[in-house]
A and B are shown apart, each in its own frame.
Chain A
Amino acid sequence: MARPAIRPTRRQFLKTSAAVAVGAGATRPFGAPALAQRPKLVYWCYQFLKSSDDARSNFAQEWAKKNNVDLQISMVPLKEFLPKITAAIEAKATPDIIESDAVELRARGQLLDVTDIYKKLEKTYGGWVGNSPKIMLEPDGRVHHIMYGFQGFMLMSRDDLVKEAGLTPPPATWVDMLAYAKKAQKLPRIFGMGIPVSNQTDSQVWEDMMKSYGARLADEKGKRIVLGDYKPQVWEFLDFFTEVWKAGVLPPGVTTWDNTMNNSTYQSGKAVFILNPITLSLWLEENNPELLAKTGHYTYPKGPKGLIQPVTFGSRAIMKYTKVPDLAKQFLWDSMEPGKMDREHGVSQWGPVLKAYLGFDVWKKKPFMKGLIDLSLRGEPQGYPDVFNDAWREQHTNTTISRMLQRLVVDNWSRDKAFVEALDVLGKIYSKYAV
């Protein structure tokens, strides 16, 4: 005969539960298990070139294992970084460490001071390369992000086609580049210059060109727009651009190209010259070595007033809401160790930021990587000769100079009208930050 089930009363149930809980606690008198004690670190890793991304995330995984850290890595493409971090900041659920150029977050007080790491790295590894200090140091001497690599746009040239046209690469000036492009292109299959003139930031290479004609956007403090004082230089540049447009060296569609189209145009062999970071060459190395062998890598051609060669960079920063600042700093420090960086540079698009990295074998092994040394040593911070500040960054995102060019060729505006609109837009942007 089955015994009837006895249901415990609520009081009995609570009593038993409490006794079980106390008993369970007593068996672990020295605190929670090691697994629960593992500190957690959330790391947003910049995603662009697979080999480089893998190298950095693999290091992070190994580091976490070695240091008993519960690491959560998210690979974030550059294009998605701002939307994601904006939401994270507003929700106060930020990662601990981020990889980006970090500048927009620094200005908004979202980053932890890492001056101590900056100084320690400088002292230990022979000092910083090129303009790294100018990029990292703020006017008050503090540092909020640690650069791990330079990158920048270079002139990539189909040297085989240039030589076939009876010319010697590289073209020395922008005017020479146009002449080369006209002669070396093979329409309608191969176009001379694969450069966007769209609303995407890669189109701002035209701003660099304009500056090599002697113009600048704002005064030396980066507060007041002075482009209006440089009308003759801008006019000369606009004449050059109009000539480029009329020569038919730009492929159809450049006015709506996104930041990948110059890459794909070159990869498919449809452009003689493009301006692009070395990421493309690393892709070619793996996927199209024949095309890489035909490709020359050079600094920008010069303008009438000299060379403007800007550099961008990759850097790591610690978000100010982190609960593990010391651990995050430890990660930043360990991730700059030369042995690790040597391995990483071999598969990455980054140029050296510390002098200890200048002796790495990779700069000798891969001829196309040599250009990165030159770029790192001589490259100026983005925006040069303008100050790289929030106002410059906003006009850059707004692609102000490329829009001025689009007015000329898409809307058939006069130079005066397009120039006046550009001045108005620049004035509006800079006046917001002038206070």
Chain B
Amino acid sequence: MRTRESLGGLALLAPTLLLLLGLVLYPFCYAIWLAFSDKTVGSPGQYVGLRNFIYVLSWPQFSAAVTNTIVFTVCAVAIKFVLGMAVALVLNQRIRARNFFRAFLLLPWVMPAFVVYLVWRWLYDPLAGLINYALLDIGVITSPIAFLSDRSTAMGSVVVAHAWRNFPFYAISFLAGMQTISQELYDSAQVDGASRIRQFRHITLPGLYHIIGVVLLLTTIQTANAFEPIYLLTGGGPSDATMVYTMLVYVMGIMNLRLGEAAAVSTLFLPLLVGLVLVVTMLLQKKANA
């Protein structure tokens, strides 16, 4: 009887499982196979063992892509987190036109990425950009700064543009979490004389752990896979200062039509991405259990 029930259950699950296998497992396995083949666009591709991996590992831009992807991901996630939390705290207060500001907050996030990054490129432009114009006008600088074209400022500029576009997701998620925390907890803490900072540390943060966990997990993956900001702002330059792995995959796979090499780059980054996600998950789990 139990076996029949199990089989019935499996039969009911089968369509979903098949769909998942088809949509997730097949592309994943295919990408891994590509990494071991000499597949180019239009050719079936032959098994070439580790040749693509050896090629990619010796490619000068690969080491730059590893470092830059980590730097970009860590910095962008950190900025989005801090900014998102700050804005959520402000919008959780009883301020005038709160609903308007809550809706307004989503504006950068709902705008098409293409538009956002082209606007940022114009803002950063050393010849016609608003930032340089303003800085020159108020006398902070004497000559224009090429934000995107100087090694020392390029990555920071890209991170800022990316963070600006994506922090609303953090803010809205945190704000939603904050509204589930009982006001009584804050009232009691206030009676006990707890400062705002202590209230934040001992009530707000613990109340948000699960949301923070999910948001960080999702956005770490999303940020590490970001392509538009680099592609539209710097193209990976100057001199590979902003070359991230997605850009490298694009050049190898789409521009050069060498899908095997592009898949090898992605496959090599897989452990790194999994590692980043595990670190985030473990840290949060530890904190939640404490």
B232-259 with Cβ < 8 A to chain A: 233-241, 251, 253-258
Give every chain B residue within 8 A of A425 (Cβ-Cβ): 59-60
- Tell me the smallest distance from the CB of B49 to a CB of chain A, in Å: 15
Q: Is A157's CB within 8 Å of the partner chain B?
A: no
Question: Which residues of chain A are within 8 angstroms of B150 by Cβ–Cβ distance?
Answer: 410
Hey, which chain B residues are within 8 Å of A403, CB to CB? Answer: 239-240
Contact with A along B54-93 (1 / 0, CB 8 A): 0100111000000000000000000000000000000000
Q: Which of A251-259, A325-333, A351-359 contacts B (4 or more CB under 8 A)?
A: A251-259
Partner-binding segment picked from B100-108, B120-128, B217-225, B275-283: B120-128
Is A39 interfacial (CB 8 A cutoff)? no
Say yes or no for B179: interface residue by CB 8 A criterion: no
Partner of B238 from A90, A270, A406 at Cβ < 8 Å:
A406
Most chain B C-beta atoms within 10 Å of own C-beta, residue among A86, A256, A394: A256
Q: Does B40 contact A (CB under 8 A)?
A: yes
Do B127 and A252 touch across chains, with their CB atoms under 8 A apart?
A: yes
Q: Which residues from B are CB-within-8-Å of A398?
A: 251, 256
Cβ-closest chain B residue relative to A254: B149
CA gap between A251 and B125 in the complex, in Å: 11
Chain A: which residue is nearest B147 at the CB level? Answer: A253
Q: How far is the CB of B238 from chain A (nearest CB, A)?
A: 4
Interface majority SS on B: helix, strand, loop or mixed? loop
Contacts of A270 in B (CB 8 A): 127
Q: Which residues of B contact A89 (CB under 8 A)?
A: 41-42
Of the four ranges (under 10, 10 to 19, 20 to 34, 35 or more), the interface on chain B belongs to 35 or more
Contacting pair B144 A252 (CB below 8 A): yes
State whether B235 touches A198 (Cβ < 8 A): yes
The answer to whether A251 and B126 touch across the interface, beta carbons within 8 angstroms, is: yes
A226-246 CB mask vs B (1 if < 8 Å, else 0) is 000000000000000000000
Chain B residues contacting A428 (CB-CB under 8 Å) are 55, 58-59
Our pick among B143, B145, B238, B256 for the contact of A397 (Cβ within 8 Å) is B256
Q: Is the beta-carbon distance between A255 and B41 smaller than 8 angstroms?
A: no
Answer yes or no: B212 CB below 8 A from chain A CBs.
no
Does the CB pair B60–A424 fall under 8 Å?
A: yes
Interface bracket on A: 35 or more
A256 B55 Cβ-Cβ under 8 A:
no
- Answer yes or no: A200 CB below 8 A from chain B CBs: yes
Q: Is A265 an interface residue (CB 8 A)?
A: yes
**Across the two chains, which residue of chain B brings its CB closest to A198?**
B237
Question: In chain A, what residue has the closest Cβ to B59?
Answer: A428
Do the beta carbons of B235 and A407 come within 8 Å of each other? Answer: no
Look across to chain A and name the residue whose beta carbon is closest to the beta carbon of B40: A108
Inter-chain contact A199/B236, CB cutoff 8 Å: yes
- Whether B126 pairs with A253 at a CB distance below 8 angstroms is yes
Closest to A108 in B: B42
Are B42 and A105 in touch, CB under 8 angstroms? Answer: yes
A105 and B41 alpha carbons, distance in the complex (Å): 9
Measured between beta carbons, the chain A residues less than 8 angstroms from B154 are 256
**A contact face: mostly helix, strand, loop, or mixed:** helix
- Nearest A residue to B38 by beta-carbon distance? A432
Say whether B144 contacts A188, CB under 8 Å.
Answer: yes
B146 within 8 A of A: yes
**Given A188-B144, A199-B237, residue A82 in contact with residue B257 (CB < 8 A):** yes
In the complex, A198→B235 CA distance in Å? 8
Residues from chain A with a CB closer than 8 A to the CB of B234 are 256
Within 8 A of B (CB), among A12-55: none
Contact A110:B42 (CB < 8 A) given known A83-B254, A199-B236, A258-B235:
yes
- Minimum C-beta distance from A371 to chain B (A): 28
Does A252 lie within 8 Å of B146, measured CB to CB?
yes
A81 CB to closest chain B CB (Å) equals 10
Q: Which of A163-211 contact B (CB under 8 A)?
A: 188, 198-200
Give CA–CA (A105, B258) in the complex, Å.
12
Closest chain A CB from B156 CB (angstroms): 14
Contact pick for A256, options B145, B148, B255, CB 8 Å: B148
- A109-B42 contact, Cβ under 8 Å, with A256-B149, A397-B255, A411-B151: yes
- Residue of B151, B233, B237, B251 with highest tally of chain A CB at under 10 A: B237
A105 to B42, CA, bound (A): 8
Q: Which residue of B lies closest to A83 (CB)?
A: B254
Contact between B148 and A108, CB atoms less than 8 A apart: no
- Asked if B257 and A406 sit within 8 Å, CB to CB, the answer is no
Cα–Cα, bound, A327→B241 (Å)? 50
Are B235's CB and A256's CB within 8 A? yes
Q: Which residue of A lies closest to B242 (CB)?
A: A256
Tell me the bound Cα distance from A254 to B42 in angstroms. Answer: 35
Q: Given A86-B254, A428-B55, A407 and B127 touching (CB < 8 A)?
A: no
Within 8 Å by CB of A108, from B43, B146, B239, lies B43
A contact residues around B149 at 8 Å (CB): 252-256, 410
Q: Give the distance in Å from the alpha carbon of A90 to the alpha carbon of B259 in the complex.
A: 11
- The smallest C-beta distance from B235 to any residue of chain A, in angstroms, reads 4
CA distance A423 to B257 in the complex (A): 22
**A361 on the B face (CB < 8 A):** no
CA of A198 to CA of B236, assembled, Å: 9
Provide the bound-state CA to CA distance between A265 and B43, in Å.
Answer: 41
A83 contact set on B, CB distance < 8 A:
254
In the docked arrangement, what's the CA distance between A398 and B254, Å? 12
Residue contacts A-B, CB under 8 angstroms, 5 given: A83-B254, A199-B235, A252-B145, A255-B237, A410-B149
Chain B: residues with CB nearer than 8 A to chain A? 40-43, 55, 58-60, 125-128, 143-146, 148-151, 154, 233-241, 251, 253-258
8 nearest A-B residue pairs (beta carbon): A255-B238, A406-B239, A410-B239, A252-B126, A252-B146, A108-B42, A255-B149, A253-B146
> Which positions in A face B, CB cutoff 8 Å?
82-83, 85-86, 89-90, 104-105, 108-110, 188, 198-200, 251-256, 258, 265, 268, 270, 394, 397-398, 403, 406-407, 410-411, 421, 424-425, 428, 432
User: Given A255-B238, A428-B58, list of 16 further CB < 8 A pairs?
Assistant: A86-B254, A90-B42, A108-B42, A199-B235, A199-B236, A252-B145, A252-B146, A253-B125, A256-B146, A256-B149, A256-B154, A397-B255, A406-B237, A410-B151, A410-B241, A424-B60
